[in-house]
Each structure stands twice: as C-alpha cells, then as structure tokens.
Amino acid sequence: MAIQLVKGTKDIFGAEVGIWQEIENKIRTICKTFGIEEIRTPVFEFTELFIRGVGETTDIVQKEMYTFTDDGNRSLTLRPEGTAGVARAYIEHGMHNNAQPTKLYYISPTFRCENTQAGRQRQFHQFGVEMLGSYSAAQDAEAISVASVLLEEMGIHGVELRINSLGCPDCRSKYNKTLKNFIGENLEKLCPTCKERYEKNPLRVLDCKETACQKIIADAPSVLDCLDEECTAHFEKVKAILDEMNIAYTVDPKIVRGLDYYTRTVFEFVSDGLTVCGGGRYDGLIEECGGKPTGAVGFGLGLERLIMILEKQQSDLHVSPLKDIYIGSMGEQGFLKAQAFTFALRKKGILAECDTVERSVKAQMKYANKLGVKYSLIIGDSELELGKAELKTMETGEKQEIMLNQLEAFFNK
Ligand code: ATP
Ligand code: MG
C-alpha cells in the first residue's frame, strides 16, 4: 500500500501554490514598507525554551508540543509558535545593542499536536511579526497596523479587530484574585480542564471554548476594571493611535490569548468566528528567557486560516495566469528548433512552452489549450526554411504572420 501523509499535515501544490506565493509576496512587500526585517530561526529548539517562553500552564506546553529526545539525550521541540525562538535569537545575538526597536518577521511552519478539524492542522504556517525594544503604545499600534494592512490588501471583508489589556503582572494578579472569587462560586458548573485552570491560571478559563464555561464567563468581572493608572493610560494611548490611523476595533475584555507571556495589550483579528491573527505585548518574555528587561509586542497570523477565508469570499482564487506562447512543432528539425526558441524566449522572461513529450501536432494543440496560452505557433520544415510562421491568438483564433527572429521583440513591445 502507498504511504500517505500524516494526519493534520497537507501538501500544497498546483493552483494553491499560486495563492501562497501571492500572500508571501504581499507579506514581504508590506514588511519592507514597515521596516521589518526577516528572521529565520531553526524549526526545533530546546524544549526548555518553550516551557519558559510559552508558559507551563498553556495548552501548547501541556498537550500540543512535538517533543523528542535526540542522540545526545537532549529534549528538543518542533516550534509550536514563533515568538520564543525570536526572543532567544534577540538575546543570543545581542540585538538590544542595535538601534531600537528591532522589528522582525518570519513566515514559517509551526507544529502543534492538536485534534485536526477545519482550520486546525498539526503542521501549519504562521506569518509572525515581533517588535522588540519599545514600551510605547505606539509600538502596539504599529504591530496591529501591519496585520490590518495585510488583511485589507488581501481584499477580505468582515474581519473584526478585538483588543483588550491584561495589564502588568501586578494588575494581572489583582484580576486573577477577583476572577478566582467569581469562578469559585461557579466551580461545579465548569468543565474539568477549567477546574484545573481555576487553581493554576484562572485567566485561562476566559479562553475556554466549552459552552457551559462560556455561559458562566459571560458575567465575569472585566479585567479592565483592575488596571492601574499606568496600564489604563497605555491602553487609552493604543486606542487613540488606532483611532488616528482609522483602524476600527472593538474592546473585548474577554480576550486573554493562549500564551502566558502577554502583558498589557492583547488583540485578535476574527473572521466568521475564526481567529486568523492573534498577538499582544510581552514585556516579561525577554527577561524570562535570560535577557535584559525589554518591551516587546508581536502577533502570529495563520496562513491556512487566511486562505480559508479567502477561499470562502473569493471564487476566482484558483485562476492560474496565462502563459505567453506555446511553440508547437512538426518533424525532427522543428522539434529541435522549438526547444531552442522556447529557451531563448524564457531567458528574456517570456513565459514560453513547447513539446517535451513528443506528441502529435494535434495533441500538442490540445495541450496548449489546457495549459492556457495567449498565443501559439507551429514550426515545421517550411517555417524554418522561410524563417516565419503563423502566430495564432488563442482567444479569437486570429492568425498573423510573424518572422521567427521577431518573436522576442513581439512580446517585448
Ligand atoms: P486557537 O484559539 O484557534 O487555538 P491560538 O490562540 O492557539 O488559536 P495562536 O497561538 O495565537 O493561536 O496562533 C496564532 C494564529 O495561528 C491563530 O490565530 C491561527 O490563525 C493560527 N493557528 C493556531 N493554531 C493553529 C492550527 N492548529 N492550525 C492552523 N492554524 C493555527
Ligand atoms: Mg490553540
């Protein structure tokens, strides 16, 4: 029996690759405009980095990591998110010595051992941005604006930006107490996981997707009421800058995000109930990973989810671009020359195709039609002798005579 791909993974090929490339190109162009440089960190890191960086009580660390031991008995883990690796690299290469902020992005495979379902894979891809070296609300707004521009430029509609603030560790512990009191009164009604969360990290209960838990959470006290003066001012400033930028948002005090490292601002972009992008400020992370205290903010945007939304909203996604010309051939000399003409045109950037299967002329034309080309011609002995051929416009069937040595000029005009 043929071996199949692993559950939760996907081959990306054919017309879909075109969509990926378009998105990746957009991302690279946008990041360039925003002065964000690419970083490529390894696919695996020491497990310890993710335990420290992502947080022991998170779903990711508790049940979603692909962890293995290598021949040196080291515990390694496939990247379950991108921020921890970037934080490690920032410290390791002393990037804080450069002019700040350091603005980095990545497009990379990410691995989580989750139950697979629509929009949830075990290997998926994230576009992530991390901006390190600033505590200012302007940095939060700049990060948010990158994701906002990308979603806008992809032409998707109905995406909602939701923002919240979790405050600094002091506000957070104050809120944890308030929340614990509230949850304590309803403990019996919560799911088993949330009963555990109640002990270790009550904030995570707000993130639970179980209907029973959500019902209770609906009346939970708001974290925004527990923010101190500075954290409130920071959140107000983020909102004011977003207002100035004309980026619409709603404040949702229930957003906590799945990772433990967030402080102050957290945000999500949601489309049809599906979170396509999540991020926030993580001022404690660099210190947690062994660096100096450093303000930082970032987000992760799931590319599969982005494509899911695009596919739902845009029916013409899979159209592949037309090739410029098919150079068909007849006879041995024609076949040889077709290869040479095609190669010469390709070197000039013209999308040329020819027969490499040794098909009949009729089959070649059928193939050219399937391929989708703007023009075609056939080279045989007489065309070679006269140095000219009939160029057919595929859409109209119209034919015009063309000198074979004028082909390149024809496409470049
Ligand atoms: P969710 O609540 O949907 O599980 P999350 O909080 O775990 O999301 P993050 O860790 O913030 O998500 O990751 C950022 C983005 O990566 C998500 O918004 C989503 O678009 C994407 N993502 C996360 N997990 C998966 C997955 N298993 N498959 C595909 N995309 C994913
Ligand atoms: Mg998750």
| Residue showing tokens 């695009």 | 310
Q: Has residue 196 been placed in a domain?
A: no
* Pair 379, 292 in one domain: no
Q: 156: helix, coil or strand?
A: coil
* Pair 74, 143 in one domain: yes
* Pair 278, 131 in one domain: yes
Domain edge (last residue) among 312, 334, 365: 312
Dihedral of CA 240/245/248/253: which sign? negative
Q: List strands edge to edge, sheet with 274-281.
A: 37-38, 102-111, 123-132, 296-302, 274-281, 263-271, 160-165, 250-251
Residue nearest to atom 6 of ligand 1 (CA): 258
* Pair 96, 157 in one domain: yes
Residue nearest to atom 16 of ligand 1 (CA): 302
Distances (CA, A) of 137 to 20, 57, 99, 256, 277: 32, 28, 18, 18, 19
**Could you read off the pLDDT tens digit of each residue along the chain, which spans 413 residues?**
899 999 999 999 988 999 999 999 999 999 999 999 999 999 999 999 999 999 888 889 999 999 999 999 999 999 999 999 999 999 999 999 999 999 999 999 999 999 998 889 999 999 999 999 999 999 999 999 999 999 999 998 899 999 999 999 999 989 999 999 998 888 888 888 888 888 888 888 888 888 888 888 888 999 999 999 999 999 999 999 999 999 999 999 999 886 777 899 999 999 988 899 999 999 999 999 999 999 999 999 999 999 999 999 887 776 677 899 999 999 999 999 999 999 999 999 999 999 999 999 999 999 999 999 999 999 999 999 999 999 999 999 999 999 999 999 999 87
| Residue 338: domain span | 325-412
Q: Of the ligands numbered here, which is closest to the C-alpha atom of 270? A: 1
The residue among 27, 18, 319 whose CA lies nearest residue 154 is: 27
Dihedral of CA 280/284/286/288: which sign? negative
Distance 278 CA to ligand 1 centre (A): 8
Distance 256 CA to ligand 1 centre (A): 13
Q: Of the ligands numbered here, which is closest to the C-alpha atom of 275? A: 1
Residue nearest to atom 5 of ligand 1 (CA): 258
User: 60 with 265: CB under 8 angstroms?
Assistant: no
Residue nearest to atom 3 of ligand 1 (CA): 275
Residue nearest to atom 28 of ligand 1 (CA): 120
* Pair 241, 361 in one domain: no
Q: Has residue 182 been placed in a domain?
A: no
Tally of domains within the chain: 2
| Residue showing tokens 């190669």 | 343
* pLDDT (0 to 100) of residue 382: 95
Tokens read off for 12:
């990306």
Question: Per the omega criterion (within 30 degrees of 0), is the bond before 101 cis?
Answer: yes
Please identify, by atom number, the ligand 1 atom nearest to the C-alpha of residue 120.
Answer: 28
* pLDDT (0 to 100) of residue 210: 87
Distance 302 CA to ligand 1 centre (A): 6
* pLDDT (0 to 100) of residue 383: 96
* Pair 124, 19 in one domain: yes
Residue nearest to atom 23 of ligand 1 (CA): 302
* pLDDT (0 to 100) of residue 314: 81
Domain edge (last residue) among 249, 284, 312: 312
Q: Of the ligands numbered here, which is closest to the C-alpha atom of 209? A: 1
Q: Which of 124, 193, 214 to mutate to test the pocket of ligand 1 (most atoms within 8 A of CB)?
A: 124
User: 226 with 167: CB under 8 angstroms?
Assistant: yes
Q: Which of 257, 275, 301, 307 to mutate to test the pocket of ligand 1 (most atoms within 8 A of CB)?
A: 275
* Pair 242, 332 in one domain: no
Entry pTM? 0.90
* 112: CB partners within 8 A, 6+ apart: 60, 64, 65, 66, 80, 122, 124
Residue nearest to atom 7 of ligand 1 (CA): 258
Q: Which amino acid is present at 100?
A: Q
Tokens read off for 390:
């009939």
* Pair 40, 130 in one domain: yes
* Pair 250, 155 in one domain: yes
* pLDDT (0 to 100) of residue 46: 98
Domain edge (last residue) among 269, 290, 312: 312
Residue 356 sits in a domain whose CATH number is 3.40.50.800
Q: Has residue 45 been placed in a domain?
A: yes
The residue among 260, 343, 386, 100 whose CA lies nearest residue 354 is: 343
Q: How far apart are the first and last CA of the chain?
A: 54
* pLDDT (0 to 100) of residue 295: 98
Distance 206 CA to ligand 2 centre (A): 14
Q: Which amino acid is present at 94?
A: G
Please identify, by atom number, the ligand 1 atom nearest to the C-alpha of residue 257.
Answer: 6
Distance 46 CA to ligand 1 centre (A): 22
Residue nearest to atom 26 of ligand 1 (CA): 120
3-state helix, strand, coil in the chain (%, to 5): 45, 25, 35
Task: Write out residues with Cβ below 6 Å of ligand 1.
Answer: 81, 112, 114, 119-121, 124, 126, 257-258, 275-278, 300, 302, 304-305
Alpha-helix residue ranges (DSSP H) falling in 62-188: 83-92, 137-153, 169-184
Distance 393 CA to ligand 2 centre (A): 52
Q: How far apart are CA 324 and CA 396, in angstroms?
A: 15
Residue nearest to atom 13 of ligand 1 (CA): 300
Distance 258 CA to ligand 2 centre (A): 6
Residue nearest to atom 22 of ligand 1 (CA): 302
Q: How far apart are CA 135 and CA 304, in angstroms?
A: 31
Residue 74 sits in a domain whose CATH number is 3.30.930.10
| Residue showing tokens 């909203």 | 313
Dihedral of the CA atoms 197, 201, 203, 208 (nearest 10)? Answer: -30
Distance 371 CA to ligand 2 centre (A): 41
Please identify, by atom number, the ligand 1 atom nearest to the C-alpha of residue 303.
Answer: 20
Instruction: Please state the φ and ψ torsions of residue 270, each to the nearest 5 degrees.
Output: -120, 135
Q: Of the ligands numbered here, which is closest to the C-alpha atom of 300? A: 1
* Pair 271, 147 in one domain: yes
* Pair 96, 239 in one domain: yes
* pLDDT (0 to 100) of residue 58: 85
* Pair 50, 156 in one domain: yes
DSSP secondary-structure letter at 99? S
